[in-house]
Chain A
Amino acid sequence: MGKISGIAYLTSRWIRRQPLWLVQDAFMIVGFALIMFVWGGITGLKNVFVAWFISGAWGMGINLVAQSIGWDKQHRVMDMFIAAPVKPWHYVFGYFLPGLIFVAVDLMFMLPLIAYLNAWNILLASLVAVAPLLITGTLLGLVIVMRIKKATNISAITNPLQMILVILPPVFYPAQLIPLNIRYFVLLIPTAAGAELARQLAGLSTWHNLWYPVAVLVAWVIIGILASAKMVKWGLE
């Protein structure tokens, strides 16, 4: 535990010294909630809860954790941890834990609304969908950043990957709007499958096909584990 807390201590310094990132995050939540309420009323507001958790989990994995580790690798700080009694999972967890501060801030701002709307089922459903997305995002992000040779490509690759997979697929809008034959293809995208799983569990979707997003997410977790096991090397390269 000391190893993880040591790495978490080091990796949380930037949040402590640059707290405005948390303020930005909080304003984004309020802003999106307002937009969704203005256009979609209470239903829109409920859907933004799901979308926010999904995009937050995906962003935390592929962007926050993986990108930070990518920079660590480029700056040779990772080499110090490889040449020390630190296991790869200590290291990844050490990066993962400080990221939860963002989740906590998101929750802090959402909780009054969730309580007001009595939308606890949405919160629980979203958290179920968030778990596989966090794992998949982190592992796939690691696979990408550990193979990047040029430092400037880290953000250039992971930022669009985070944004595109949240904005384009049905995350902020329901998958049931997409024709059924195309919907199956679209829901192969992990963020779309996560959002659909949360909506179905929370009763926000009129499409009842729970096994499909579950199967897709399980497959992505397996792909993430296999790809990272094969491609992410902890020294001895």
Chain B
Amino acid sequence: MSVIARHMAKKYAGKIWGARDIDFEAENGKITVLLGPNGAGKTTTVGLLSTLLRPTKGEALIDGYSTVREPWKVRERIALCPQDIKVDMNWTPWDAVKGYLMVRGYSREEVMERGEKYLRSMELWDVRTRPSIRLSGGQRKRIAVAMVLASGAPVIFLDEPSSGLDVEARYVVWKSLREEAKNGKVIVLTTHDMREAEMLGDQIVMISGGNSVAKGTPEELRKIIPYAYKIVVKNPENMTGRADIDFGDRKIIYAKTRDEALEIMENIKAESVALEEVTLEDVYLHVMGGENGKN
């Protein structure tokens, strides 16, 4: 089972490009994270992969089936948790999962078994009979995640599944997603949260301006940036040298080696000077080439 996006592009009405050139492959047993800023084209990419949208150029293949030529073969194999989904306020968590599993063709016994398993994994079992209007926003979001995970579909798309969730709820979702990946599922999710990408992703595809601009494991991506360290300076007194990222009274300077970093640090007088290894966030800023990004 695999998900292949081959140079996909999507032009909406009004000649707005939602995606220009998205190219990557997601394998089973792995979580592929589509990482990018708002408006980068992540949701469009998920829409193209999940048969919601027709690509203007390129193609998407799910388990070898084209989303355009064989959408029904594709739909048998996928489940989607859309961004900003609002489950019906009258649905209880149990209603939602039960109904969705009935739709997916499970028998009564299987519905009971899977329903309980996934509501427990999303920590919704204790509130399973409570209408969603009486649940928190995070619990409502987890209902949708429970629905798609319970579906048993071998390919799962989640568009910003943890947006709006508190830390504990996010960990609950992450844990379930890692377990599903371990069970051989292909999971493709979108986020703009670096930490989520770093914690969850076996493979990360960075998307910017509708293009997939970098891809690889978190470790591979860290090698893209020509620096290994960063110096974080707080309230500098005498800093006259370069500041790669400037937040006013906080500045970041990148260094290729530890020795170079230590040498730079010797010449800085500030309230605090800290040396850290580069993270995915630094790679992100480098690749995206944002306002403060160092290219």
Which residue numbers of A lie inside 8 Å of B, CB to CB? 2-3, 5-7, 9-10, 13-14, 16-18, 75-77, 79-86, 235-237
Beta-carbon contact of B52 and A83 below 8 Å? yes
List, in ascending order, chain B residues with CB within 8 A of A86's CB.
Answer: 75, 103
Partner of A236, one of B54, B90, B102, B106: B54
Which of chain B's residues 63-85 have a Cβ closer than 8 Å to chain A?
Answer: 67-68, 71-72, 75-76, 78-85
Closest-by-CB residue of B relative to A90 is: B103
Beta-carbon contact of A2 and B147 below 8 Å? no
Beta-carbon contact of B147 and A80 below 8 Å? yes
Partner of B100, one of A5, A10, A75, A235: A10
Beta-carbon contact of A10 and B83 below 8 Å? no
Q: Taking the complex as formed, is B254 at the interface, i.e. its CB lies under 8 A from any CB of chain A?
A: no
Per-position contact with A for B123-158: 1 when CB-CB < 8 Å, else 0?
Answer: 000000001000000000000100110010100010
Question: SS class of chain A's interface: helix, strand, loop or mixed?
Answer: helix
Q: Taking the complex as formed, is B95 at the interface, i.e. its CB lies under 8 A from any CB of chain A?
A: yes
Closest-by-CB residue of B relative to A7 is: B103
List, in ascending order, chain A residues with CB within 8 A of B86's CB.
Answer: 75-77
Beta-carbon contact of A77 and B85 below 8 Å? yes
> Whole-angstrom distance between the alpha carbons of A79 and B81 in the complex?
8
Partner of A85, one of B76, B84, B98, B99: B76
Beta-carbon contact of A83 and B50 below 8 Å? yes
Q: Apart from A6-B103, A82-B80, A236-B51, what 16 extra A-B contacts exist at CB < 8 Å?
A: A2-B106, A13-B88, A13-B92, A17-B90, A76-B86, A77-B85, A80-B82, A83-B79, A84-B79, A84-B80, A85-B104, A85-B105, A235-B52, A236-B54, A236-B68, A237-B54
Question: SS class of chain B's interface: helix, strand, loop or mixed?
Answer: loop
With most chain B CB atoms within 10 A of its CB, the pick from A17, A79, A86 is A79
Closest-by-CB residue of A relative to B144 is: A80
Q: Taking the complex as formed, is B204 at the interface, i.e. its CB lies under 8 A from any CB of chain A?
A: no
Closest-by-CB residue of A relative to B72 is: A85
Partner of B103, one of A17, A76, A84: A84
Per-position contact with A for B83-120: 1 when CB-CB < 8 Å, else 0?
Answer: 11111101110011011111111100000000000000
List, in ascending order, chain B residues with CB within 8 A of A77's CB.
Answer: 85-88
List, in ascending order, chain A residues with CB within 8 A of B270's CB.
Answer: none
Partner of A237, one of B53, B67, B82, B103: B53
Band of interface residues on B: 35 or more
Beta-carbon contact of B91 and A10 below 8 Å? yes
Beta-carbon contact of B91 and A83 below 8 Å? no
Given the known interface contacts A17-B131, A79-B80, the answer about A2 and B105 at a Cβ–Cβ threshold of 8 Å is yes
Beta-carbon contact of B99 and A236 below 8 Å? no
Which residue numbers of B lie inside 8 Å of A, CB to CB? 50-54, 67-68, 71-72, 75-76, 78-88, 90-92, 95-96, 98-106, 131, 144, 147-148, 151, 153, 157
What are 12 A-B contacts defined by CB distance under 8 Å?
A6-B102, A9-B98, A10-B91, A10-B100, A75-B87, A77-B88, A79-B82, A80-B147, A83-B78, A85-B72, A236-B54, A236-B68
Beta-carbon contact of B52 and A80 below 8 Å? no
> Whole-angstrom distance between the alpha carbons of A236 and B75 in the complex?
12
Beta-carbon contact of B88 and A14 below 8 Å? yes
Beta-carbon contact of B99 and A7 below 8 Å? yes
List, in ascending order, chain A residues with CB within 8 A of B54's CB.
Answer: 236-237
Given the known interface contacts A75-B86, A85-B75, the answer about A9 and B105 at a Cβ–Cβ threshold of 8 Å is no
Partner of B51, one of A2, A5, A7, A82: A82
Given the known interface contacts A82-B51, A85-B76, A236-B53, the answer about A6 and B100 at a Cβ–Cβ threshold of 8 Å is yes
Beta-carbon contact of A76 and B79 below 8 Å? no
Measured CB to CB, the closest approach of chain A to B45, in angstroms, equals 14
Beta-carbon contact of B101 and A6 below 8 Å? yes
Beta-carbon contact of B78 and A76 below 8 Å? no
List, in ascending order, chain B residues with CB within 8 A of A7's CB.
Answer: 99, 103
> Whole-angstrom distance between the alpha carbons of A223 and B98 in the complex?
37
Measured CB to CB, the closest approach of chain A to B83, in angstroms, equals 7
